[in-house]
Structure 1
Amino acid sequence: MKLIHFLACFSLLFIQTALGELVCEQLPVGICSFSIASSGKRCLLETYASGDGTMKLQCKTSEVVVGTNMREHVETDECIAACGVDRKSVGISSDSLLDHRFTAKLCLPQCYQNCPNIVDLYYNLASEEGVVLADLCKAVRSSAGRATSRFLSSGAAFGPASAAAAPTSEAAFGPIISSVDCAPPPM
């Protein structure tokens, strides 16, 4: 499996070097999720019905744009494992934030402080739901996750006043620094 991943990454680097840019539609399905194209847009897996009627996966470019310092990024296996995400994830959704086991792993320092690409994705997904990821991580740590679904479904936990007063992820956890070669420096 590691040999296949190595060969896929090697092929990707060869293609990227030859063409000068990373295009989601040219990525192998196995490294598509959590990758970022040269355009700065996130790559995502989508399903489609093949000619024989079976469902297959393809890598597509989303409309989700990330900061300029994370362009042309393919997430490492170390960050995939540390954050508890799945390379075979289809689409981009905040639903996984409702799963205590996932959120607990996302909030661990191995992920939160070393994998800014994945943290940035879920930070933005949480924000779209009106949740500050740092506050969610604090709730998960303090209550062993029992309050996760309450926190996400409670309007009292967030809103304009509490969002303005809430610590940023950097204030809550310190700077997000890549001490492991999981991703480029944070935005």
Structure 2
Amino acid sequence: MQDPSAYIKQHIRTVPDWPVAGVQFRDITPLLSNPRVFRVLIDQFVHRYFDTRPAAIAGLDARGFIIGSVLAYELNVGFIPIRKKGKLPFTTVEETYELEYGSATVEMHTDAVQPGDRVVLIDDLIATGGTMLAGARLLQRLGATVIEGAAIVDLPELGGSARLRAAGLPLHTLVDFAGH
């Protein structure tokens, strides 16, 4: 088999001009619909975290739930959903972050982690880094240690991965795409 990152990358669909003109949308749904590719994808993360076994995997709403929950299952650790504001039914802690136009807020349950828990924070893609940084701040406010941020795709030209590393978050991505 070829290099797993190259194999994964060739199964990511680029949709031009979506959701707006000029954007090259990186669509991971082909990775998910092909059982072999999906297994290769998940195995890349399982092998990375198998020996360093975190206490939990935190997934960012919504595509981070897909990868994160399967990874948590495979590692036999808990899964923590970090959701958009207003979606969680119990007591929450929230973090607001800036978007290109406006802001957004993510939340998680106050009992999702315990002080000292080692957590991997995962999403499908890193663009500007705002959502992942907000998720990391939530986990840290509750006393968890975010051992690494992880994603399938990095869009380095948008500056998110550099921003996350500058904020002190170790980062692991499988593939990167030039441009937007």
**Higher RCO, Cα 8 Å, sep 6+:** 1
Q: TM-score range by the shorter chain?
A: under 0.3
The higher radius of gyration belongs to: 1
Q: Which has the higher helix share?
A: 1
TM-score normalised to structure 2 length: 0.26
